[in-house]
Amino acid sequence: MLNTLTRHFLRFALRYLVKPLNGPPMPIVLQRFWLRFMALIHLPARGISRQKIKMNGVNIQDINAAQAEHLIIYAHGGAFYLGDVATHVGLTSRLAKLCQARVWSVNYRLAPEHVFPAALEDILSAYRSALQIVNADKILLAGDSAGGGLTLSTACAIRDAGLPQPAGLILISPWVDLTLTDMHSVADKIDPLVSWKFLRDGIRHYCGTQNPGQPLISPLFSDLHNLPPVLLHCGSDEIIRGDSERLNQRLQQAGTDVSFKLVKGMWHVFPIHAGSLREADQAVSEMQAFARHCWQTQENQSGRKVS
């Protein structure tokens, strides 16, 4: 009963207090302020340390640094021009606590001040920095929405650069097709959080004059062979649900180990409500199980044990 009331309250708040203020005509500075203000309901997990660090010029929130053996590098969502480490600290701190891992929440450069490929360069730079202190098989990449797309693009860039691969990828409602294939077939009203006008604005800010369909901008169109295992979470009530469904198909076709979780009645990036919503808590628990499985598999192959 309590969870049902919470679900209805969150859906109402998102639909009437967040969604109308994301995108034009609201100025970007006010959109950023309002999103950060609304995100204050997502309290960080207790007993988790946080500090600001800078690695090779990239600003990072270092969460749970005492757990240095395993690392999750997290890219937040926000259509490439909103969001920061503060808007996602509830989720990232819970990942750190449940996984008993260190989390680097990356404050990558936002559009329109910094267009593609600035954000991708920052995530990739954070990964290169991580390789200096942690073995690749102890690293996971994770992200939601636009950050989920960045995470997948980063994994492709890592592979193409010949760098050691991370142990796995966690993609939460990833936005991987900036050509908006489903825009004319999916009604805006089904999603209480995201609108097509908001996404169109994100594309304009992030891509500038560049083609939004190029693979590192829309990684759905990338070569998806030889990637690490993927956990893919999506809600049924998302206007970009098709991105996750098509990505799941393409990953399977490429022979990538993918686990796809489509959660009925949930909206875009619903796991961000972990600590308040049962479905979100379950999703984060599944992420924890996936992370431990990836690390266990890697360490079994190398003859080490997960602590």
Dist. CA 26–CA 202, nearest whole Å: 13
Residue 218: CB partners within 8 Å, gap ≥ 6?
A: 149, 176, 177, 178, 179, 212
- The residue among 135, 85, 88 whose CA lies nearest residue 108 is 85
- Residues annotated as part of the active site: 145, 238
Burial 89-116 (b: 16+ CB within 10 A, else e): bbbbbbbbbbbebbbbbbbbbbbeebbb
Q: Tell me which residue has tokens 């890697």.
A: 298
Q: Is the dihedral of CA 86, 21, 179, 264 positive or negative?
A: positive
Largest CA distance in the chain: 57
Residues in the chain: 307
Dist. CA 67–CA 270, nearest whole Å: 26
Percentage helix, strand, coil for the chain under 3-state DSSP, each rounded to 5:
45, 15, 40
Beta strands in the chain (DSSP E): 50-55, 58-63, 71-75, 102-106, 139-144, 168-172, 230-235, 258-263
3-class secondary-structure state, position 157: helix
